[in-house]
């Protein structure tokens, strides 16, 4: 009889230990949540949505063409643009908001690139969507 009591109490002890072990593993899974929640704050510029960008791109298509290949004597070709390739989304956003007048010595075609393509209603988010769309046109 004593042996059975001993075995039973050992079993109880084991199940208590197992419960503690199970409880201990739950908090270990938690630290993965906070870094994921912090990620958006670490990225100041969120990548745009190319599908929405295609809709807003109508503003730019008048000079750059709906296919982004540029229209002779107007906007430049995006598909082969080293400039676009070499710029971050943030830098392109800054460029598009300011544009580049024909009088700017850096202007290569002698035609105005108007601020925001001449559409002041475009928000930063709209422009980032457009930038995402332009990137899909790149070869």
Task: By CB under 6 A, name the binding residues for ligand HEC.
Answer: 59-60, 62-64, 74-76, 81, 83-84, 92, 95-96, 100, 106-109, 111-114, 116-118, 130
The answer to whether the beta carbons of residues 93 and 124 sit under 8 Å apart is: yes
The answer to whether the beta carbons of residues 109 and 76 sit under 8 Å apart is: yes
Q: How far is the CB of 35 from ligand HEC (least distance, A)?
A: 34
Q: How far is the CB of 136 from ligand HEC (least distance, A)?
A: 13
Q: How far is the CB of 56 from ligand HEC (least distance, A)?
A: 7
Give the span between the Cα atoms of 32 and 39, in whole angstroms. 12
Q: Which residue lies nearer to ligand HEC by CB, 24 or 111?
A: 111
Q: Which residue lies nearer to ligand HEC by CB, 7 or 97?
A: 97
Q: Which residue lies nearer to ligand HEC by CB, 96 or 137?
A: 96
Residues 6+ apart with CB under 8 A from 36: none
């Amino acid at each position: 009889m004593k042996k059975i009591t001993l075995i039973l109490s050992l079993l109880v002890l084991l199940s208590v230990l197992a419960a503690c072990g199970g409880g201990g593993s739950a908090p270990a899974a938690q630290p993965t949540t906070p870094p994921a929640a912090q990620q958006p704050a670490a990225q100041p510029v969120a990548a745009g949505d190319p599908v929405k960008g295609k809709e807003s791109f109508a503003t730019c298509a008048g000079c750059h063409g709906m296919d982004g290949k540029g229209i002779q004597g107007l906007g430049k070709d995006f598909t082969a643009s080293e400039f676009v390739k070499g710029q971050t989304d943030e830098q392109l956003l800054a460029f598009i908001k300011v544009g580049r007048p024909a009088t700017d010595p850096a202007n290569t075609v002698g035609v105005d690139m108007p601020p925001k393509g001449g559409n002041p209603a475009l928000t930063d988010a709209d422009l980032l969507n457009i930038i995402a769309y332009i990137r899909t046109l790149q070869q």
